[in-house]
Structure 1
Amino acid sequence: MRHQRALLATLTATVTTLALTACGSDDAATSDAGEDLGLVSDGTLTVATEGTYRPFTFHDDSGELVGYDVEVAEAVADELGLEIEFAETQWDAIFAGLDAGRFDTIANQVSITPEREEKYAFSEPYTVSRGVVVVPAGDTSVSSFADLDGKTSAQSLTSNWRTLAEESGAAVEPVEGWAQAVALLEQGRVQTTINDSLTVLDYLQEHPDAPIEIAAETEDTSESAFAVTPQREALATAIDGALDTLAADGTLTELSQKYFGEDVSR
Structure 2
Amino acid sequence: MTSKRKKLLGNLLVLVLLVLVAGTIWYRFNHRTDSWSSLKHEKTLKIGIDDTFVPMGFRDKHNKLVGYDVEMAQAACKKLGLKPEFQVIDWSMKETELNTHHIDAIWNGYTVTPERKQHVAFTNGYHRTGQVLLTRADSGVNKSEDMRGKHLGVQSGSSGVTLFQQDPKVLKQYLTSKPVQYDTFDKAINDVKVKRLGAVLIDEDYARYYLAHNQQTIPLKIVETTFPPDEMAVGVRKEDKTLRHKLNWAIAELRQDGTEQRLARKYFGKTD
TM-score range, shorter chain: 0.5 to 0.7
| Alignment match, 2:91 | 91
Say whether 1:247 aligns with 2:255.
yes
Contact 1:49 1:108 (8 Å CA) reproduced: yes
Identity score, percent? 24
TM-score of the superposition, structure 1-length normalised? 0.65
TM-score of the superposition, structure 2-length normalised? 0.64
Point out which structure has higher relative CO (alpha carbons under 8 A, 6+ apart).
2
Structure 2 unaligned residues grouped into runs of 5+: 1-32, 183-187
- Aligned partner of residue 119 in structure 2, secondary structure: coil
Offset from partner CA, 1:39-80 (integer Å, 9 cap, x none)? 435262413223532323333343332222211110111122
Cα separation, partners in 2 of 1:108 and 1:174, compared to 1, 3 Å: closer
| Alignment match, 1:232 | 240
Structure 1 unaligned residues grouped into runs of 5+: 1-26, 30-36
| Alignment match, 1:180 | 191
- Aligned partner of residue 220 in structure 1, secondary structure: coil
Q: Distance in 2 between matches of 1:173 and 1:112?
A: 24
| Alignment match, 2:171 | 165
Q: Distance in 2 between matches of 1:172 and 1:103?
A: 36
Aligned with residue 207 of structure 1, among 214, 221, 224: 214
Q: Distance in 2 between matches of 1:41 and 1:234?
A: 11
Contact 1:228 1:236 (8 Å CA) reproduced: yes
Q: Please list, as runs of the form range in 1=range in 2, the aligned pairs for 1:140-159 lying within 5 A after superposition.
A: 142=142, 145=144, 148=145, 153-156=150-153
Contact 1:105 1:227 (8 Å CA) reproduced: yes
Q: Which has the higher strand share?
A: 1
Contact 1:28 1:42 (8 Å CA) reproduced: no
Q: Distance in 2 between matches of 1:89 and 1:166?
A: 29
Say whether 1:109 aligns with 2:109.
yes
| Alignment match, 1:18 | none
Q: CA deviation at 1:84?
A: 2.5
CA RMSD of aligned residues (A): 3.7
Q: Distance in 2 between matches of 1:199 and 1:172?
A: 25
Q: Please list, as runs of the form range in 1=range in 2, the aligned pairs for 1:1-266 lying within 5 A after superposition.
A: 37-42=36-41, 44-55=43-54, 56-134=56-134, 142=142, 145=144, 148=145, 153-156=150-153, 160=161, 161=164, 164-167=170-173, 169=174, 177-184=188-195, 194-207=201-214, 211-263=219-271, 266=272
Q: Distance in 1 between matches of 2:148 and 2:87?
A: 44
Cα separation, partners in 2 of 1:249 and 1:218, compared to 1, 3 Å: farther
Q: How many aligned residue pairs are there?
A: 223
Amino acid at match of 1:63: N
